[in-house]
Amino acid sequence: MILINAAITASLFSFLYLFHRRRCCKHPLMRDYPILGMLPSVLFNMWRIHDFCTEILKKQGGSGEFKGPWFTKMHYLITCDSLNVQHMLCKSFDNYIKGPEFREIFKPFGDGVVTADSETWKYSRTILPSSNIGSCTTTRKGGRSSRCLQSLHLQDVLGYDPYCLSIDFPEVAIEKAFNEAEESIFYRHTVPKCVWKLQKWLQIGQEKKMTEACKTLDRFIHARIASKRVELLSKCNENEMGEAHVDLLTALMGQEQAHDDRFLRDDEFNLFVAGRDTITSSLTWFFWLVTKHPLVEAKILEEIKDNFEANYEGVLGIEEVKKLVYLHGALCEALRLFPPVSIERKQAIKDDTLPSGHRVNGNTMILFSLYAMGRCEEIWGKDCLEFKPERWISERGEVVYAPAYKFIAFNAGPRICLGKDLAFVQMKMVAAAILRKYRFQVVEGHSPTPSHSIVLLMKNGLKARIMKRL
């Protein structure tokens, strides 16, 4: 009898709790299982998580709610509605922040410009535009392979070249640490907080990798800060000091404001990740798309020859690549279909109603899928799944600029990427330098898949044969 009563009580409790969840969750994205919530569907489709997210959002009209296991705080509103994105990033910017939970999950980023809110973010934002990042090194290395991006950004930001372009292509410890940290951050989004917190306390699984990666990153960056201080102190005259101001670290140290090592470490880490991984991701997917579309490749080569036939053997400079309109369109298409940062996260401060009609309570976590937005017919039309550079070119042969809250690869509103123009210059220089001399052929049977990371890199890289053009 006791067992029967216990079973009846448990069943009644489960029924009432499930009823309560369904009342709270008015726009469920997927099936809500007892106890486990909607997490099983996500884990089952983890191997294709971005396409799965796109499919369920389309079925729900662009927005819906996700609830994780019972008694956890895995509760998100997920959207790919461009009007919702415009509302959060532009019109009601002050009401949607990164928040303390974001900073906890993204701990390796510290309090840098990517994770900061309020006055901390404003301060970091104001000091960065004065730093001329990358122009010298971009010109110097623009004619080398796409792997130069890691070397380029380490040198631009930290004044350090890891020599990753050596003939034997050595594994760079700092690169491995960055990758493991980013994969761990992605993992924290897929499990309840109590799970990764326990793993962190026990130092097992992905959290052990995160701890070791953070130690490697901190040792490396703090060593660079210390050596840069010594270098600056050794400069005796004004000309030598001027020569030293080539990288961002030197520029920040040379400002009138006194920045402590923690501030320098956080901003250097943020800017290196923002530049290194995003451009690497963009170019990798770009080259893969070009190999799948030979007509696009032919038009890119024709544009380069038509504009620079007299200087075809030389390295194209910054002003020259700005004339490559079709290449610009092809890169925009790659960014639209495979945005380097595929998911953005915000937290509401006050109650609000989104343009889609969804009610947002204070502290609600909101995820918007940039990957899904690039595949929305409402934004890009019926041919949204096609790789079509022409959509970015006007009848007059000029670049067409889409609103930032629709073409969201560089963020939008006050937090729009400061390095957008520089990123396009770097990508166009590298892409033009490689494509005009080499032809890519993807290895038979290789099907690229996105890695489980906060940056949309290819899981096993792009396996391709590179042949010199005749």
CA distance 437 to 444: 22
Which helix (H) or strand (E) segment is 345 a member of?
strand 343-348
Between the CA atoms of 79, 82, 87 and 89, what dihedral angle is there, to the nearest 10 degrees?
90
Q: Which residues pair with 467 in a beta bridge?
A: 439
Residue 240 lies in a domain: no
d(CA 93, CA 58): 26
Residue 416 maps to a domain: yes
pLDDT score of 134: 46
How many Cα atoms within 13 Å fall on the side-chain side of residue 391?
Answer: 19
Question: What is residue 92's predicted lDDT score, i.e. its pLDDT?
Answer: 95
Nearest Cα to 108, choosing from 259, 212, 189, 196? Answer: 212
Where residue 205 falls (left for φ over 0; alpha for ψ -120 to 50; beta otherwise) is left
pLDDT at 176: 85
Q: Does residue 307 lie in a domain region?
A: yes
* Tokens describing residue 119: 């006055």
State pTM to two decimals. Answer: 0.85
Residue 455 falls inside a structural domain: yes
Write the DSSP symbol of residue 145. -
Helix (H) or strand (E) holding 272: helix 261-292
Three-state SS letters, 32-57: CECCCECHHHHHHCHHHHHHHHHHHH
Main-chain phi, psi angles of 443, to 5 degrees:
-60, 135
pLDDT of residue 30: 86
Largest CA distance in the chain: 94
290-329 burial, b at 16+ Cβ within 10 Å, e below that, comes to bbebeebbebbbebbeebbeeeeeeebeeebbeebbbbbb
| Cα–Cα distance measured from residue 400 to residue 402, given in angstroms and rounded to the nearest whole number | 6
Residue 183 lies in a domain: no
Report whether 80 belongs to an annotated binding site.
no
Is 229 among the domain residues? no
Whether residue 179 lies inside any domain: the answer is: no
Structural domain span for residue 405: 28-105+113-170+270-468
**How many domains does the chain divide into?**
1
Please report, in tens digits, the pLDDT of each residue of the chain (470 residues total). 555 545 555 454 444 445 444 545 577 888 888 888 999 999 999 999 999 999 999 999 999 999 999 888 889 999 999 999 999 999 999 999 999 999 999 988 888 888 888 888 888 777 765 444 444 444 444 334 444 444 444 445 445 555 555 555 556 778 888 889 989 999 998 888 999 999 999 999 999 999 999 999 899 888 888 888 887 777 655 455 455 445 677 777 766 566 788 888 888 888 777 777 888 899 999 999 999 999 999 999 999 888 876 555 666 778 888 899 999 999 999 999 999 999 999 999 999 999 999 999 988 999 999 999 999 999 999 999 999 999 999 999 999 999 999 999 999 999 998 888 888 998 999 899 889 888 888 888 888 888 888 899 888 888 888 888 87
Non-local CB neighbours of 76 within 8 Å, separated by 6+ positions: 65, 66, 365, 366, 367
For residue 310, the 8-state DSSP code is T
Query: Per the domain annotation, does 199 fall within a domain?
Result: no
Q: What is the CATH number of the domain that holds 438?
A: 1.10.630.10
